[in-house]
Amino acid sequence: MITLRFYRIYDIGREIDLDWLEKALAQNYFTARTSFVRVKPKSIMLEDPPLMIQMNPIRVERDGRPFEFTVVARVYDIGVISFCFIYQNPEAEIAELEEIAFLFAGQEGLSDFYVQYLKTLGEIIRPHIRGFAINPDFFEDYSIYVTDHRDDSIDPVALLIGEKTNISPQIREDILKNSLSYTTDDLAILSWDSALLCNPESPTDIIDLIEFANVQVLELRYYDRELTREMEKMYDDIEHADRMSQFRRGRQYHAIMAKLMETSAEISEIIEKVDNLIKVTEDVYYARVYATALKVLRSGQWSESVSRKITVIQENYSMLSDEVRIQHSNFLEWVVIILIALELVFMILAIH
């Protein structure tokens, strides 16, 4: 048996009340909440499991061959939609998995379908989500190839990079070092945009863990970009304020500080929620799979970039706060000087 799962994940706005959304969609759509099937309830903790929505299947033709994909969407409370196109053939051998993977390498031929589903689901859920917004050009994509047994007749590295070529030893080593097994019969190999899972039992939980890791990385990328925009605007606003008169400058600094404090607090809260989207506690193997997925997706680099930009914003807030305090202190000094001068004038006038 072989299964190919093609993911594309989009940010759609701010936080979502999934309980409310589930009730709103329940009458017209099949929905369910994600749950792990092969672990103890306390082994993997989801604060707010994503809402799954069953979509209509699609037929795609590649090289004159028709393929039918089941389509599932998941809506996450942090403001994310994940689409998964699933092709499954219970009777196919692993050689066919390799053949189909090369046909759809880089998710070739699927982009327009993702955009159509994004627009369709967007129209359905837009009335139920505050601040709903879609950018079809900003996404995270990932492919997962699943077979029910290990087979040395195919090259897993060629499968994962999507091309048959003379792969260098360095690339081969980089990919194969992210191999994990729980028993002698199963194997999971994770790379930066795809994974191969060989398992006699359906590795549903591992598939979900890989999806969650991609969701986290997408949100870190999204807020890294948002922080970059906020920083550019911050510097423009400070430069504009510096050209104002001293009195107007102080008021403008206060406005900039209020915006910086709001941005820093809001994004810090969201990033904390993204980081805590899922917690793998007691299951050592699943914890390793999840940690490996985050590592190969470079989650740490994006997280560091976000933290660094939040720190810069906070430092600029402190700088502006000091500047405002200095201006206020100077203003008070001038007030004192003027009052003393007036008192001296009144004393001189009183003498004369």
- Those residues whose C-beta lies under 8 Å from the C-beta of residue 326, and which sit 6 or more positions away, are none
Quote the number of domains for the chain: 2
For residue 9, the model assigns a pLDDT of 96
Residue 18 belongs to a domain: yes
For residue 321, the model assigns a pLDDT of 65
For residue 176, the model assigns a pLDDT of 92
Residue that is last in its domain, among 167, 186, 212: 212
SS (HEC) of 123-191: HHHHHHCCCCCCCCCCEEEEEEEEECCCCCCCCHHHHHHCCCCCCCHHHHHHHHCCEECCCCCCEEEEC
For residue 66, the model assigns a pLDDT of 92
Domain that holds residue 43: 2-212
For residue 42, the model assigns a pLDDT of 59
List the chain pLDDT tens, one digit each, 352 residues. 899 999 999 998 777 888 888 887 877 778 887 666 555 555 666 777 888 999 999 999 988 889 999 999 999 988 899 999 999 988 878 888 888 999 998 899 999 999 999 998 888 888 777 777 788 889 999 999 999 888 888 889 988 988 888 888 898 899 999 999 998 889 999 999 999 999 888 888 899 999 999 999 999 999 888 888 887 887 787 777 777 666 676 677 667 777 777 777 777 777 777 777 777 766 788 889 989 999 999 988 988 888 888 888 777 767 666 665 656 666 666 667 777 777 777 777 777 6
The verdict on 181 and 244 lying in the same domain is: no
SS3 21: helix
The verdict on 124 and 36 lying in the same domain is: yes
- Centroid of chain to Cα 296: 15
Residue 66 belongs to a domain: yes
The verdict on 52 and 136 lying in the same domain is: yes
**How far lies 350's CA from each of 201, 339, 342, 344, in Å?**
101, 16, 12, 10
Residue 74 belongs to a domain: yes
Query: Looking at 191-230, which runs of residues are DSSP E strands?
Result: 194-198
The verdict on 9 and 92 lying in the same domain is: yes
**Contact assessment for residue 122 and residue 12, using Cβ atoms and an 8 Å cutoff:** yes
Using CA atoms, how far apart are residues 101 and 18, in angstroms rounded to an integer?
34
For residue 73, the model assigns a pLDDT of 93
The verdict on 268 and 316 lying in the same domain is: yes
The verdict on 289 and 202 lying in the same domain is: no
Residue that is last in its domain, among 177, 212, 247: 212
The verdict on 111 and 180 lying in the same domain is: yes
Residue 243 belongs to a domain: yes
Using CA atoms, how far apart are residues 297 and 17, in angstroms rounded to an integer?
28
The verdict on 124 and 240 lying in the same domain is: no
Residue 263 belongs to a domain: yes
The verdict on 123 and 250 lying in the same domain is: no
Residue 220 belongs to a domain: no
For residue 218, the model assigns a pLDDT of 93
The verdict on 176 and 74 lying in the same domain is: yes
The verdict on 201 and 234 lying in the same domain is: no
The verdict on 130 and 278 lying in the same domain is: no
For residue 84, the model assigns a pLDDT of 96
Residue that is last in its domain, among 182, 212, 242: 212
Residue 273 belongs to a domain: yes
Residue 224 belongs to a domain: no
